[in-house]
């Protein structure tokens, strides 16, 4: 058994290394002054990418749109999901599995299909009724996202409803409550935590969604679509900086939630007095979710302030100078080589080795533009009027 | 219909008029306006010509198979091998990604359900969820950082002397496969975990006690229990992978195109909505038939999904 | 409460409840008196819970009528009936405090907050748990929850309190204690209690009257001692208490007594339920273990002892006679007494009045 435990532990470690490795590396690149997100070679420690991130007007505008859309989606998807879960709980088995299949389908249908079908339908409605105001990115995105986001909310509610003791409603009725009172005073309070988590999940799903949104948002952009177009058209470490912010927020949220859950569990189980952590007044106060949250925020705030005061310009200037020197060297070398080749064949083949591509990585000098990738021999490239193959790093 | 009415009456008796109406209206709205009508509308569109706005509704606007015809055949009548290949390649790639996820998630789901206890188990659950909270685009971006020509993998690989020149992982689709497998891990682990967790651990111990080697215990005792979870997870991962757009756009090599990217181009770059709709219908029908076929093969019902 | 005691009776008027082809309750016809402690006793699936739900208004009878306090309850919802139900798992609201739980019926009736709290404290006083009003149900012990559930049900001042096996989740000692307590509370408030249970000990010790149910049918209604001593059907005889059953054929009947021929001999016994038999009718003879007297010569037969179980106050002895195994209970006479050894043969007999002849029917072990 011991051998197996060891194997299991090792596997779990490897698994979580795969889960977190890419995130950690991405986060690290946020602090490297190199213009291309990478860990090695390490140039200078910098916090400048965060500033660059907040200076990105398109992203910030997308953020605003995402918030507006997210609020709309939560406000509609959560009640719809709740209704779905309630409806399923009342249907006889056969009809229930039918409705379940229909309602769960939007999760499985490719997001692009949902997006397309949404704009096609509402486009037709707009043409048919002349109600042009319906045909705007906000409305279409909300409608398109609700289709599947409601199913996420529904799954949360189904899980919670399964733990609802139906005799509670009966007891309330028996004690003289009207069905409406029983619903408001017994079922809804029971569902409250699920409403919270459903709201959170739907907000996240709405915020994150790309496949549907990229169609429905029309000429507007959300945070995620702005992000995607930024990633597709060349990258810089300000995206890593964004990842650092999101990861930090996630960790703070997770830790606070964990503290909250544990405390609630300990109190509900009547173990609060028994656990030494909760018995001692100091540790008890320290493990209060509010305090945990406050401590985390303080620490992060401190780090942020320290980071914003950090100046990496001296180091960067040194690196830049070094690079320029090296570039000059390389260029000289290349010139020689080309001259030699031209002398031999009379043909120009400007194909820098990709190992150098990174080093060139657009240091910001007009002298070093990103070397264009040779057009890949994609036969359909022409047929579709220039499919933009996602650009590669270099 | 009668059963629907009965269910409504039961809701009415239990939760009152307000709740019953709320449920009835919301679910109807969801099923009809949000789910069914858009799909029908898209289906309708896919049978039409791509006409300029002023010709819509005129005589020129009638049903046609042209959009589907052009998926299968080029204008000169030869097979449209290009698009068909892209579809098939997308499906195969999705299948490979799904299998990778099944393989790497099964041990974790088992460890989570029967090995890890207390703090370790909680940490594992949190650890599984946190990456899922990071934006999909950023997750793909992380893999681009990782696999880029000056990425960590290339740097380390060259430092260790495994290869001399930077390997173009992006062109080789390694980054794409990794990114997609990574993106949907959570959707595979949790259904599996739920299924395996229902297994009484003493059954594993009993099988071990009777002298069965570990692989046989898994094959005969754990796997049959995990099957619905695996199928449920595999369905979700397959559908989402086949329908993925962001990861192929960000991580896809220049020579490999995902079918969703074709659809995207018909819509956003060629402005040919009917053609895009037809392609979307093709994708939807193919994926759903494929999943239904697999479910038939593995004898699992749709009701298991999402559990 | 009004000066005049209200009519707290329940009348089941030819009530049948069917679900599709399945008959859960078949033609129940009985009256539960005002202020009575009445139990429905039967194995699980006998229809007793369905009956209870029908009285409380969660389901309507397919046929017949339910009258509470003389009023027909057809179409009256559970929230409009003068009944309160204690659920098997109590159904206390976990998110409310104990006081809020108890005051819930007043809350939904629009009683002011101050008054609600006063009433809740009064009821907590009554169930001898003052001062726990601000706790959550999760923090209470099993017995405390039990009493809170009763207090909550009494807060609506019901005429009828319905209890659905509320003690089944408690451990043995607490269960016995709660029996006494329930009975005391019932005497104190004077409300009609209708108690559902599969535990005959509970039914027999607490109730004024018991209805034994099986397969949807009320087999017998009566005082506990009548049920035990004068069973009217094979099911009641075999379900309530231990019983020995012998199958045989009637030889003849004279008044209350009849002679039954069995493979072990012919015995005289009382005819259950005042029935009339013809010679040749098949019938069952029931004799309780404690009524079988070793060494008797009249109305007796020979048996061989097979094994014995010691149970403190009594010894259970098992004997084989013909194809039947019989159970005999002997009072523990302390060191003075001695038990016959295994394999010994002995004569067993019973007084004719202590045997009961009943028509052949399904027994408790059949279901």
Closest C-alpha among B248, B84, A176 to residue C56:
A176
Q: What is the pLDDT of residue B207?
A: 75
Which residue in the set B35, B214, B257 is minimally distant from A4, CB to CB? Answer: B214
**Lookup: tokens for B231:** 């199928």
CB A75 within 8 A of CB A143: no
Whether B272 is in a domain gets the answer yes
User: Three-state SS for C249?
Assistant: strand
C327-358 pLDDT, tens digit per residue, is 888 777 666 556 667 778 888 889 999 999 99
**Residue B64 placed within a domain:** no
Is residue B72 in some structural domain? no
Backbone angles phi, psi at C16, to 5 degrees: -125, 140
A227 contacts chain B (CB < 8 A): yes
pLDDT of residue C13: 92
* Nearby residues of A192 by Cβ (< 8 Å), 6 or more positions away: none
Q: How far does B227 lie from chain A, in Å, by closest CA?
A: 19
Q: Do B108 and B32 fall within a single domain?
A: no
CB atoms within 10 A of CB A14: 14
> Is A113 within 8 Å of B284 when comparing Cβ atoms?
yes
Residue of A9, A108, A229, A250 for testing the chain B interface, max B β-carbons within 10 Å = A108
CA distance B206 to B40: 54
Verify that B175 and B256 share a domain, yes or no. Answer: yes
Residues of C with CB below 8 A from A170's CB?
58, 78, 85, 87, 91
Residue A266 CA to residue A269 CA, distance in Å, equals 5
Report yes or no: A70 at the B interface, CB cutoff 8 Å. no
Residue B65 has pLDDT above 90, yes or no: no
In this complex, how many residue pairs, one in chain A and one in chain B, have their CB atoms less than 8 Å apart? 346
Predicted confidence at residue A365, as pLDDT, reads 39
Same domain, B187 and B249: yes
- pLDDT for C244 beyond 60: yes
For residue C199, the SS3 value is: coil
Q: Which residue has the higher pLDDT, B112 or B254?
A: B112
- Structural domains of chain C sorted by starting position, each given as residue range(s) with its CATH number in brackets: 10-229 (3.40.50.300), 241-366 (2.40.50.140)
DSSP 3-state of C109: coil
pLDDT tens digits along A28-45? 887 777 777 777 667 777
pLDDT for the residue numbered C334: 65
**CATH number for B180:** 1.10.3720.10
Report the pLDDT averaged over residues C87-103.
89
B99 and B6 in a common domain: no
| Radius of gyration over every alpha carbon of chain B, rounded to an integer in angstroms | 24
Contact (CB<8Å) A143/B34 = yes
pLDDT band per the 50, 70, 90 thresholds, residue C221: very high
Q: Where are the alpha helices (DSSP H) in A163-237?
A: 166-174, 179-182, 188-208, 213-216, 223-232
More confident position, C247 or A254? C247
CA distance B238 to B93: 9
* 3-state DSSP percent of chain A in helix, strand and coil, to 5: 75, 0, 25
Read off the pLDDT of residues B168-208 as tens digits, 9 standing for 90 and up.
Answer: 777 777 888 888 888 888 888 888 888 888 777 777 777 77
Computed over every residue of chain C, the mean pLDDT equals 87
- Chain C residue numbers with beta carbons less than 8 Å from the beta carbon of A181 are 108
> Are A205 and A152 within 8 A, CB to CB?
yes
Phi and psi of C166, rounded to 5°?
Answer: -70, -15
Local confidence band at C110 (pLDDT 50, 70, 90 cut-offs): confident
Number of domains in chain B: 2
CA of B272: which chain A residue's CA is closest?
A: A384
Closest-CA distance of chain A to residue C79, Å: 4
Mark the ranges of chain A whose per-residue pLDDT is less than 50: 1, 348-394
Taking a C-beta distance cutoff of 8 angstroms, is the pair C134, C99 a contact?
Answer: yes
- SS3 (DSSP) at A180: helix
A376 Cα to chain B: minimum distance (Å)? 7
pLDDT averaged over every residue in chain B: 80
Flag the least confident range among A143-157, A341-355, B138-152, C119-133. A341-355
Residue A245: the pLDDT is 85
Query: Does B87 lie in the same domain as B42?
Result: no
Q: Which residues of A touch B23 (CB under 8 A)?
A: 83, 86-87
pLDDT at B18: 82
Asked if B186 and B132 count as a contact pair (C-beta separation under 8 A), the reply is yes
Q: List the C63-68 sheet strands across, edge first.
A: C22-32, C10-19, C63-68, C71-72
Q: What distance lies between CA C306 and its chain's CA centroid?
A: 32
Looking at per-residue pLDDT, the higher value among B251 and C353 belongs to C353
Q: Is residue B56 part of a domain?
A: no
The pLDDT of residue B16: 79
Q: A83: which 2 tokens?
A: 């209704």
CA B78, CA A11: separation in Å to the nearest integer? 51
Mean predicted confidence (pLDDT) in C209-220: 92
Pair (B267, B211) in one structural domain: yes
In a domain, B51, yes or no: no
Query: Any CB–CB contact under 8 A between A91 and chain B?
Result: yes
Residues B1 and B113 reside in one and the same domain: no
B205 within some domain: yes
> Predicted confidence band at B304 (pLDDT cuts at 50, 70, 90)?
low
Task: Provide the shortest C-alpha distance from residue A341 to chain B (in Å).
Answer: 23
The pLDDT of residue B226 is 81
Give contacts of A190 with chain C, Cβ < 8 Å. Answer: 95
Rounded to two decimals, the ipTM of the complex is: 0.84
Which of C83, C93, C155 has its CB closest to that of A168? C93
| Same-domain status, B31 and B92 | no
Q: What is the pLDDT of residues C177-193, one digit of tens each?
A: 888 888 888 888 889 99
- Residues of chain C neighbouring A186 (CB-CB closer than 8 A): 93
- Calpha distance B241→A145 (Å, rounded): 18
Among B10, B34, B188, the residue to mutate for chain A (most A Cβ within 10 A): B34
Residue B243: inside a domain, yes or no?
Answer: yes
Domains and CATH numbers, chain A: 60-236 (1.10.3720.10)
Q: What is the pTM of this model?
A: 0.78
More confident residue, C235 or B291: C235
pLDDT digits (tens, 9 = 90+) for B5-47: 777 787 777 787 888 888 889 988 998 888 888 888 888 888 8
Tell me the per-residue pLDDT of B79-106, one tens digit each, with 9 for 90 and over.
777 788 888 888 888 899 999 989 988 8
Tell whether B32 and B93 lie within a shared domain: no
Order the strands of the C192-197 sheet from edge to edge.
Answer: C83-86, C160-164, C192-197, C37-41, C209-214, C217-222
State the pLDDT at residue A357. Answer: 40
Query: B26 and B91: one domain?
Result: no
* Residues B240, B132 share a domain: yes
Name the CA dihedral angle for B174, B147, B129, B307, rounded to a multiple of 10 degrees. Answer: -10
Give the domain extent around B41: 1-46
B154 plus B296 within the same structural domain: yes
Beta bridge pairs of residue C300: C349
């Amino acid at each position: 058994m011991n051998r197996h435990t060891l194997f299991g532990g090792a596997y779990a470690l490897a698994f979580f290394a795969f889960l977190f490795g890419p995130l950690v590396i991405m986060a690290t690149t946020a602090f490297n002054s190199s213009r291309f997100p990478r860990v090695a070679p390490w140039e200078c420690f910098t916090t400048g990418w965060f500033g660059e991130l907040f200076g990105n007007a398109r992203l910030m505008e997308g953020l605003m749109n995402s918030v507006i859309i997210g609020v709309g989606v939560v406000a509609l998807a959560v009640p719809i999901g709740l209704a779905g879960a309630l409806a399923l709980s009342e249907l006889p088995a056969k009809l229930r599995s039918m409705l379940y299949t229909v309602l769960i389908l939007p999760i499985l249908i490719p997001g692009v299909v949902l997006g397309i079908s949404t704009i096609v339908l509402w486009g037709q409605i707009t043409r048919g009724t002349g109600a042009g105001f319906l045909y705007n990115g906000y409305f279409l995105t909300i409608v398109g996202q609700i289709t599947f986001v409601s199913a996420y909310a529904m799954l949360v509610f189904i899980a919670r409803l399964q733990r609802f003791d139906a005799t509670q409603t009966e007891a309330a009725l028996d004690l003289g409550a009207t069905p409406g009172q029983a619903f408001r005073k017994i079922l809804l309070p029971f569902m409250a935590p699920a409403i919270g988590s459903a709201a959170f999940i739907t907000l996240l799903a709405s915020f994150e969604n790309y496949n549907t949104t990229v169609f429905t948002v029309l000429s507007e952009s959300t945070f995620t679509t702005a992000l995607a177009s930024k990633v597709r058209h060349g990258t810089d470490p300000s995206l890593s900086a964004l990842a650092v912010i999101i990861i930090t927020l996630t960790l703070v949220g997770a830790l606070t939630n964990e503290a909250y859950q544990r405390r609630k569990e300990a109190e509900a189980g009547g173990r609060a007095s028994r656990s030494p952590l909760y018995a001692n007044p100091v540790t008890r106060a320290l493990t209060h979710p509010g305090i945990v949250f406050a401590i985390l925020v303080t620490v992060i705030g401190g780090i942020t302030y320290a980071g914003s005061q950090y100046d990496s310009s001296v180091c960067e200037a040194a690196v830049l100078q070094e690079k320029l020197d090296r570039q000059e060297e390389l260029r000289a070398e290349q010139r020689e080589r080309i001259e030699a080749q031209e002398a031999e064949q009379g043909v120009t083949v400007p194909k820098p080795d990709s190992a150098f591509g990174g080093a060139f990585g657009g240091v910001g000098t007009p002298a070093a533009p990103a070397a264009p990738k040779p057009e890949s021999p994609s036969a359909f490239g022409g047929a579709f009027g220039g499919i933009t193959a996602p650009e590669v790093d270099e | 219909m009668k059963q629907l009415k009965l269910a409504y009456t039961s809701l009415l008796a239990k939760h009152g008029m307000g709740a019953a109406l709320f449920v009835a209206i919301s679910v109807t709205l969801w099923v009809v306006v949000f789910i069914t009508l858009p799909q029908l509308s898209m289906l309708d569109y896919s049978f039409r010509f791509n006409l300029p706005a002023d010709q819509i509704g005129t005589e020129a606007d009638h049903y046609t198979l042209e959009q589907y015809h052009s998926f299968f055949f080029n204008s000169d009548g030869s097979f449209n091998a290009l698009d068909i290949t892209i579809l098939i390649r997308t499906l195969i790639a999705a299948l490979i990604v799904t299998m990778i996820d099944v393989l790497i998630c099964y041990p974790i789901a088992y460890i989570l359900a029967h090995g890890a206890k207390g703090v370790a188990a909680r940490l594992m659950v949190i650890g599984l969820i946190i990456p899922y909270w990071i934006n999909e685009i950023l997750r793909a971006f992380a893999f681009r950082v990782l696999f880029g020509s000056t990425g960590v993998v290339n740097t380390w690989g060259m430092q260790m002397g495994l290869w001399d020149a930077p390997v173009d992982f992006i062109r080789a689709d390694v980054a794409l496969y990794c990114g997609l497998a990574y993106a949907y891990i959570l959707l595979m682990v949790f259904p599996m975990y739920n299924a395996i967790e229902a297994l009484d651990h003493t059954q594993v111990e009993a099988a071990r006690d009777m002298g069965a080697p570990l692989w046989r215990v898994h094959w005969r005792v754990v796997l049959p229990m995990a099957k619905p979870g695996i199928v449920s997870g595999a369905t979700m991962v397959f559908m989402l992978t086949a329908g993925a757009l962001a990861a192929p756009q960000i991580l896809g090599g220049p020579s490999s195109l995902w079918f969703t990217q074709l659809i995207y181009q018909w819509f956003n770059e060629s402005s040919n909505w009917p053609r895009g709709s037809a392609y979307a219908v093709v994708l939807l029908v193919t994926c759903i038939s494929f999943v239904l076929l697999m479910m038939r093969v593995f004898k699992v019902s749709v009701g298991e999904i999402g559990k | 409460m009004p000066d005049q005691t209200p009519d707290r009776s329940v009348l089941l008027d030819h009530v049948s409840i069917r679900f599709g082809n399945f008959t859960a309750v078949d033609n129940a016809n009985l009256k539960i008196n005002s202020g009575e402690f009445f139990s429905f006793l039967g194995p699980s699936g006998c229809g007793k819970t369905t009956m209870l739900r029908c009285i409380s208004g969660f389901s309507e009878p397919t046929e017949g009528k339910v009258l509470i306090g003389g009023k027909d309850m057809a179409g009256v919802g559970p929230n409009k009936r003068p009944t309160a139900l204690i659920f098997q798992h109590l159904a206390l609201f976990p998110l409310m405090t104990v006081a809020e739980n108890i005051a819930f019926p007043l809350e939904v009736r629009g009683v002011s907050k101050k008054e609600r709290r006063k009433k809740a404290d009064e009821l907590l006083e009554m169930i001898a748990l003052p001062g726990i009003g601000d706790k959550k149900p999760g923090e209470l012990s099993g017995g405390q929850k039990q009493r809170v559930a009763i207090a909550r049900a009494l807060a609506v001042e019901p005429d009828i309190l319905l209890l659905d096996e509320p003690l089944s989740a408690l451990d043995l000692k607490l269960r016995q204690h709660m029996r006494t307590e329930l009975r005391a509370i019932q005497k104190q408030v004077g409300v009609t209690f209708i108690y559902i249970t599969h535990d005959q000990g509970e039914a027999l010790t607490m109730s004024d009257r018991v209805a034994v149910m099986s397969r949807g049918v009320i087999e017998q209604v009566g005082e506990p001692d009548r049920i035990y001593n004068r069973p009217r059907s094979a099911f009641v005889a075999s379900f309530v208490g231990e019983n020995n059953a012998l199958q045989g054929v009637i030889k003849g009947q004279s008044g209350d007594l009849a002679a039954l021929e069995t493979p072990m001999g012919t015995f005289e016994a009382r005819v259950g339920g005042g029935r009339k038999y013809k010679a040749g009718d098949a019938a069952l003879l029931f004799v309780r273990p404690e009524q079988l007297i070793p060494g008797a010569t009249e109305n007796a037969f020979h048996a061989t002892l097979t094994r014995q179980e010691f149970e403190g106050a009594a010894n259970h002895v098992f004997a084989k006679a013909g194809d039947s195994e019989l159970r005999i209970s002997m009072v523990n006479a302390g060191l003075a007494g001695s038990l016959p050894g295994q394999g010994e043969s002995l004569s067993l007999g019973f007084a004719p009045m202590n045997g009961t002849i009943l028509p052949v029917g399904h027994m408790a072990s059949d279901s």
